[in-house]
Amino acid sequence: MNYKDRVMVLIKMEGNEKTFQCGQFLCRIWRNPALGTLNGYIGVDKSFPLYGKGLDYVVYDRKTVRDVFRVHGGLTYAGKKWNDGRWYFGFDTGHPGDYIPALDNGGTYRDMNYVKEQLESLVDQFSRFSVTKKVK
pLDDT digits (tens, 9 = 90+) for 60-110: 889 999 999 999 999 999 999 999 999 999 999 999 999 999 999 989 999
Domain ranges of the chain: 3-132
Percent of the chain with pLDDT over 90: 88
Higher pLDDT pick, 60 / 126: 126
pLDDT of residue 134: 56
Q: Is 130's pLDDT higher than 90?
A: no
pLDDT in tens, 6-17: 999 999 999 999
DSSP string, 80-133: --SSSS-EEEEEES-STTB--TTTT--SB---HHHHHHHHHHHHHHHHHHHHH-
Nearest-angstrom CA–CA distance, 91 and 68: 14
Rounded average pLDDT over 114-130: 93
Which pLDDT does position 72 carry in this prediction? 97
Check whether 19 has a pLDDT greater than 80. yes
**Mean confidence (pLDDT) of the chain:** 94
Alpha-carbon distances of 124 from 7, 25, 71, 104, 131, rounded to whole Å = 29, 10, 11, 33, 11
pLDDT of residue 135: 55
- Kind and range of the H or E element at 55? none
Phi first, then psi, for residue 102 (nearest 5°) are -65, -25
pLDDT at position 129 is 85
DSSP label of 48: S
3-132: CATH class: alpha beta
The DSSP letter of residue 71 is -
Read off the pTM. 0.93
pLDDT at 136 over 60: no
